[in-house]
Structure 1
Amino acid sequence: MSHQPRQDFEQQASLALESPVFVIGPLRSGSTLLRLLLDHHPNMHMFGEFEGAVSQARGDRWPDLEDYWRFVKIDRQTSAMNLAIDPELDYPALVKDFLRQLYLRNPQPVVGASIHSRVDLLPRLWPNARYIHLYRDPRDVARSCIGMGWVGNVYEGAKIWCDFEKRRELLRTQEQPGQAIEVFYEQLVENPVKELSRLCEFLSLKFDPEMLKLDRDTTYSCPSKQYAEQWKSKSSAREIRWIELLTSEQMMKQGYQPFSRDTRALTIQEKLALKVQNRVYRMRYNIRKWGLVLWLQHVLARRTGIRQWVEYVKHRTNAIDRSLLK
């Protein structure tokens, strides 16, 4: 009898680690909200963003191990996880060991995270992973990227959505029946109980009302439909045109209908103006966030490639970025 609890734990761990759950969606698609909702289920541990599992790949090749070890120590998201690096492991084994370490901090039948980058590589690491595909209107995604300082205009923000959707399509060609489920942000915030119940059923769990009590221990609140389709009131006709020139074909596949009737391609002058405005905006945003001196160090360190300087600046900018996170 004394061995039974241990056997049960090992069996649960094996099942959880062989088939982790990943919330798959572009940046600013509501993935943090959805992940937190799932994490509040008593039988789920959705520990955060796990970009570091795949983001450093170059093409179809895994990163050099020593370069990756340095990345783990200085990347804002990954370093915050305080992961132990076993130098004896190759890349796939090391990333799987990271998941094991994170699982052991809160062992639950379901473990997972959100990922926005090289999602097409996940089947190579976890062939039996389960995927929750989160979709959101690109007109809202593109606008939301500006507020994060990643882009200076919705045209560049739409590129972030497009780049991710290309990776998503590659992942979808590798999925097996029953391995994935879809959820739309707009439906999630309008009827969270219904959508979360569907997701729980997919994960062989029952919906728990605790999932909606985000305001108890996070800065997020219960989903509200007021956050859906904000582009209709906050985007100009010109901005909608810019976004739809890049996204209309793919967004229609997802059920979103274009609004702009102006389908003229951008002129060279328009593209140049958007590119310059984007660079100036990002520069000013980071100067306001980090201060002029640290921003200059950031630029010079990256250009010179001096490793110790790069790592020093990265640690300082990480500290500021963490303090500003919601």
Structure 2
Amino acid sequence: MNTSFLESPTFLIGAERSGTTLLRLMLSHHSQIAWCNEFEYVIDQVSDNAQFPKVSDYQDWLKTHRIFQATGFEVSPNLTYGELVQSFLQQKQAQEQKPVVGATVHRHFDRLLAIWPNARFIHIVRDPRDVARSCIGMGWAGNVWTGSQRWLEAEQDWEALKQTLPVNNYVEISYENLIREPQTVLTQLANFLGVAYDPAMLQYNQDTTYDQPDSSFLNQWRRKLGDREIQLVESRVGDLLLQRGYEASGLPTIQLTSSQIKSLKLQDWWARANFRLQRYGAVLFTLNYITSRLPLRAWRDRIQLKINQIDLEYIK
């Protein structure tokens, strides 16, 4: 198996709800491309100053990590942290017997360079007004003002990382272009990855729940958000909206007072708590709250595993 792709793997980065899952499915249906889904478990325990976690602690943490546990990757106890997370890509490559390997990451992009200094990146961006709206539906936010935070943080992180990269080490695309011209964009990405375009990249709908690209579903914010909600997002993301190639709505710009911001944060907290209460039930919700704040690892892990099992029922 070719190891060159392991020395400089490619990461698909962007905010959650920006089309990363759809693009990952397209890439992984290529006959020569293997792609890991959410790969944050390799960097969430790395500090901002690139300090790696203690390997034994990291291995314990992985035991209740729902996404990692679904990979089937083995954890060798004799590897350093860098060697261990590198082995995950090696195992993915071996599982699928494909030469090109990559992974999706939604946050802390710069930490990847501490492990893979020669990493390459595919950055995907979607209209933040659609991202914010979608985050509410996932139970991650209680309103579009807080829902836009994930987009804002991801784009700010990318802006900083981009300045440190050679121009040949990244490519930028938009979700909207991917939907409008999928073959053109996928051909560009295949070339970036060093392979030819494969028509199978657009056959993902045959064995997943995702439909073929449909441009009629773009810009849903125009139909599903009220004027006040649009103004809230645009006030939060500021000039980044235009910098990423999106047009402002033309609605008057608003300035929020400190009390209005506090109210939005309170609404957000309540909505997210209520979402979890409805999904997990009162008992599990309460136990999760208690065990997450007490040094009761075994009990906390049992509760987390129960939550993971429920979450699996909602994964599309």
Q: Secondary structure at the match of 1:88?
A: coil
Task: Kindly provide the CA deviation profile for residues 59-109 of structure 1, in whole angstroms up to 9, marking residues without a partner as x.
Answer: 222223232112211111112213222222221121111221222111212
Name the counterpart of 2:236: 246
Name the counterpart of 1:22: 11
Q: Secondary structure at the match of 1:320?
A: helix
Structure 1: which 5+ residue stretches go unaligned?
A: 1-8
Aligned 8 A contact 2:7 2:118 in 1: yes
**When the two structures are superposed, what TM-score results if normalisation uses the length of structure 1?**
0.93
Structure 2 residue identity aligned to 1:131:
F
Structure 2: which 5+ residue stretches go unaligned?
A: none
Q: Secondary structure at the match of 2:313?
A: helix
In the alignment, the residues of structure 1 paired with residue 243 and residue 183 of structure 2 have an alpha-carbon distance, to the nearest angstrom, of 26
Tell me whether 1:168 sits opposite 2:158 in the alignment. yes
CA distance 1:227–1:113, change in 2 (3 Å): farther
In the alignment, the residues of structure 1 paired with residue 169 and residue 309 of structure 2 have an alpha-carbon distance, to the nearest angstrom, of 37
Kindly state the Cα deviation for residue 237 of structure 1 after the two structures are TM-superposed: 0.8
Tell me whether 1:113 sits opposite 2:103 in the alignment. yes
Q: Secondary structure at the match of 1:168?
A: helix
Name the counterpart of 2:67: 77
Aligned 8 A contact 2:232 2:254 in 1: no
Kindly state the Cα deviation for residue 204 of structure 1 after the two structures are TM-superposed: 2.0
Name the counterpart of 2:22: 33
Q: Secondary structure at the match of 1:287?
A: helix
The one of 156, 161, 174 aligned to 2:146: 156
- Which segment is superposed worse, 299-308 or 34-43? 299-308
Name the counterpart of 1:56: 45
Aligned 8 A contact 1:121 1:171 in 2: no
Aligned 8 A contact 1:240 1:260 in 2: no
In the alignment, the residues of structure 1 paired with residue 206 and residue 31 of structure 2 have an alpha-carbon distance, to the nearest angstrom, of 15
Sequence identity, in percent? 37
The one of 166, 186, 196 aligned to 2:176: 186
**When the two structures are superposed, what TM-score results if normalisation uses the length of structure 2?**
0.96
Aligned 8 A contact 1:152 1:282 in 2: yes
Residues 2-13 of structure 1: pairs in structure 2 closer than 5 A: 9=1, 12=2
Runs of 4 or more off by more than 4 Å in structure 1?
none
Name the counterpart of 1:3: none
- Which segment is superposed worse, 300-309 or 315-324? 300-309
Structure 2 residue identity aligned to 1:18:
E
Q: Aligned-residue CA RMSD in angstroms?
A: 1.4
Kindly state the Cα deviation for residue 225 of structure 1 after the two structures are TM-superposed: 1.1
In the alignment, the residues of structure 2 paired with residue 99 and residue 131 of structure 1 have an alpha-carbon distance, to the nearest angstrom, of 15
Structure 1 residue identity aligned to 2:292:
R
Q: Secondary structure at the match of 2:35?
A: strand
Task: Kindly provide the CA deviation profile for residues 24-45 of structure 1, in whole angstroms up to 9, marking residues without a partner as x.
Answer: 1101000000010011111111
In the alignment, the residues of structure 2 paired with residue 124 and residue 184 of structure 1 have an alpha-carbon distance, to the nearest angstrom, of 27
Name the counterpart of 1:44: 33
Task: Kindly provide the CA deviation profile for residues 137-190 of structure 1, in whole angstroms up to 9, marking residues without a partner as x.
Answer: 111111110111111110011111111122212321221131111110001101
Q: Secondary structure at the match of 1:324?
A: coil
Kindly state the Cα deviation for residue 118 of structure 1 after the two structures are TM-superposed: 1.2
The one of 70, 73, 90 aligned to 2:80: 90
Tell me whether 1:227 sits opposite 2:223 in the alignment. no
Task: Kindly provide the CA deviation profile for residues 106-135 of structure 1, in whole angstroms up to 9, marking residues without a partner as x.
Answer: 121211111001111112212222211101
Structure 2 residue identity aligned to 1:28:
R
The one of 265, 284, 302 aligned to 1:312: 302
Q: Secondary structure at the match of 2:284?
A: helix
- Which segment is superposed worse, 241-250 or 267-276? 267-276
In the alignment, the residues of structure 2 paired with residue 235 and residue 132 of structure 1 have an alpha-carbon distance, to the nearest angstrom, of 29
Aligned 8 A contact 1:26 1:160 in 2: yes
Name the counterpart of 1:301: 291
